[in-house]
């Protein structure tokens, strides 16, 4: 039989089986973000190459934190200018996640492919997908049992990019990312200038050594983690010049507003509904990429300000007279920044932690002890803390060591019961902080409650 016919038949079979699996999962109320693609890839191992051929242009977003938000923001912005955009929007960032998004939204041609890619899958995916742009957000310790030390992750991504013909959108404030300028690609840098939330000291700084000469590196200030202003006195390694940057950040009405700059213009009082300095970095990355491909800045800002996100990343759900906010926490820097963000919220509140140790979460949960929880004791109007998930006792112990009175801590490894209790507290807002494998289950449980089930 003709080889091209065999290939067509194999592709058709992979799509049909993938769609059937997706249908079965959906009808039983389960997520279909990875399994359909996983099975389809077994039938057609070149499925990602076919995705590559069908996308006229491609951008890949990688790094430790902020991938899902940045990826969704970019896809949302592109949606205003392009009719056909393919993207893995639900956080499934391995090969099977991209394949599943193709099965769900199969077309013969796309204007853009926008793909979030897990650092551990970066080399495998780059083998089949040739990106025109790569956005690198940041590098932090994450799931040490999967990735190993941070140097391994940075080196793996760096070496994979080396032979590519691509443009890089780089976070200038992370020395581990800005070192990628040495790859001599077309480099575009973004960052955040010193602001009222910057600090002189930071508990979690992933590198104190210069990525260029390994000497001690000086930091003038930190925006969060090791992201800030740095300078090596030995070799002169320092923040690159910003092509795009954010400044004058303010927190008002439970959201952040700021000025965003290109080399020609300043756009004042841009507001983003999702809290945290890390989300402002995500905005800056999406803005930078979108400007670079020629979208009008005012149109980009309009899309960012109207971004609606439903994936458990600072997602707000209204329940009776209160707000339920679901925030994914999966590594030390993420938990640290979420606690900082909650400390700005003056409303009467409850917090529910859900800590799992499934393989996708990382089975080593020692990371909770690396998180900086010094701001915890400063949280005002905190009425109750619930601890749940497979490792409920561990997160409760960690919180107790943050000098929180034990009488306001309740442990219950039954997620559903904990969620019910937390959202029925006499508060204005209930924060729910699940690890990765609990996010979608948590969201479904909360939505069932809001629908009276």
451: which 2 tokens?
């629908």
Using CA atoms, how far apart are residues 97 and 382, in angstroms rounded to an integer?
38
- pTM, two decimals, is 0.88
Using CA atoms, how far apart are residues 317 and 330, in angstroms rounded to an integer?
21
Confidence band, pLDDT 50/70/90 cuts, at residue 202: confident
Residue 364: active-site member: yes
User: Could you give the percent of the chain with pLDDT greater than 70?
Assistant: 98
224 touches 337 (CB < 8 A): yes
On whether 210 is known to bind a ligand per the annotation, the reply is: yes
Within 8 A by CB and 6+ apart from 28, the residues are none
Using CA atoms, how far apart are residues 167 and 443, in angstroms rounded to an integer?
36
Alpha helices in 28-149 (DSSP H): 35-43, 47-54, 67-78, 95-104, 122-126, 144-147
Statement: residue 336 has pLDDT above 80: yes
Confidence band, pLDDT 50/70/90 cuts, at residue 312: low
On whether 55 is known to bind a ligand per the annotation, the reply is: no
pLDDT confidence of residue 341: 87
| Averaged confidence pLDDT in the chain | 92
Q: Pick the range with the lowest mean pLDDT from 17-26, 153-162, 171-180.
A: 17-26
Using CA atoms, how far apart are residues 142 and 158, in angstroms rounded to an integer?
17
On whether 213 is known to bind a ligand per the annotation, the reply is: yes
User: Can you tell me whether residue 417 is helix, strand or coil?
Assistant: helix
Distance of CA 415 to the CA centre of its chain: 24
On whether 235 is known to bind a ligand per the annotation, the reply is: yes
Residue of 263, 269, 364, 426 marked catalytic: 364
């Amino acid at each position: 039989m003709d080889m091209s016919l065999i290939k067509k038949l194999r592709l058709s079979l992979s799509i049909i089986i993938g769609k059937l699996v997706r249908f079965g999962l959906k009808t039983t109320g389960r997520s279909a973000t990875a399994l359909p693609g996983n099975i389809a890839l077994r039938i057609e191992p070149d499925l990602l190459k076919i995705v590559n051929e069908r996308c006229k242009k491609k951008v890949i977003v990688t790094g430790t934190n902020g991938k899902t938000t940045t990826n969704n923001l970019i896809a949302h912005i592109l949606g205003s200018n392009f009719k056909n955009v393919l993207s893995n929007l639900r956080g499934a960032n391995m090969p099977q996640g991209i394949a599943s998004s193709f099965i769900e939204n199969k077309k013969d041609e796309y204007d853009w492919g926008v793909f979030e890619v897990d650092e551990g899958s970066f080399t495998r995916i780059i083998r089949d997908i040739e990106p025109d742009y790569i956005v690198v957000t940041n590098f932090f310790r994450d799931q040490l049992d999967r990735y190993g030390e941070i140097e391994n992750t940075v080196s793996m991504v760096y070496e994979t990019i080396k032979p590519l013909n691509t443009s890089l959108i780089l976070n200038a404030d992370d020395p581990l990312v800005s070192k990628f300028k040495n790859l001599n690609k077309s480099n575009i840098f973004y960052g955040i200038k010193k602001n009222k939330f910057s600090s002189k000291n930071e508990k979690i700084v992933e590198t104190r050594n210069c990525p260029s000469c390994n000497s001690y590196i000086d930091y003038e200030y930190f925006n969060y983690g090791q992201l800030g202003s740095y300078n090596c006195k030995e070799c002169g390694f320092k923040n690159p010049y910003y092509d795009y940057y954010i400044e004058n950040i303010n927190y008002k009405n439970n959201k952040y507003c700021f000025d965003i700059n290109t080399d020609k213009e300043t756009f004042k009082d841009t507001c983003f509904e999702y809290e945290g300095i890390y989300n402002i970095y995500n905005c800056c990355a999406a803005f930078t990429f979108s400007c670079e491909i020629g979208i009008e800045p005012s149109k980009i800002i309009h899309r960012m300000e109207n971004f609606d996100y439903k994936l458990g990343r600072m997602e707000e759900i209204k329940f009776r007279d209160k707000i339920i906010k679901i925030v994914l926490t999966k590594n030390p820097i993420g938990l640290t920044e979420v606690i900082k963000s909650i400390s700005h919220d003056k409303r009467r509140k409850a917090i529910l932690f859900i800590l799992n140790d499934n393989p996708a979460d990382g089975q080593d949960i020692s990371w909770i002890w690396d998180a900086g929880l010094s701001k915890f004791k400063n949280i005002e109007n905190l009425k109750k803390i619930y601890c749940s998930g497979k490792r409920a006792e561990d997160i409760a112990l960690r919180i107790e060591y943050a000098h929180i009175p034990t009488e306001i801590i309740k442990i219950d490894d039954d997620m559903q019961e904990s969620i019910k209790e937390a959202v029925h507290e006499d508060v204005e807002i209930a924060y729910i902080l699940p690890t990765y494998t609990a996010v979608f289950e948590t969201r479904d449980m909360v939505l069932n409650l809001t629908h009276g089930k």
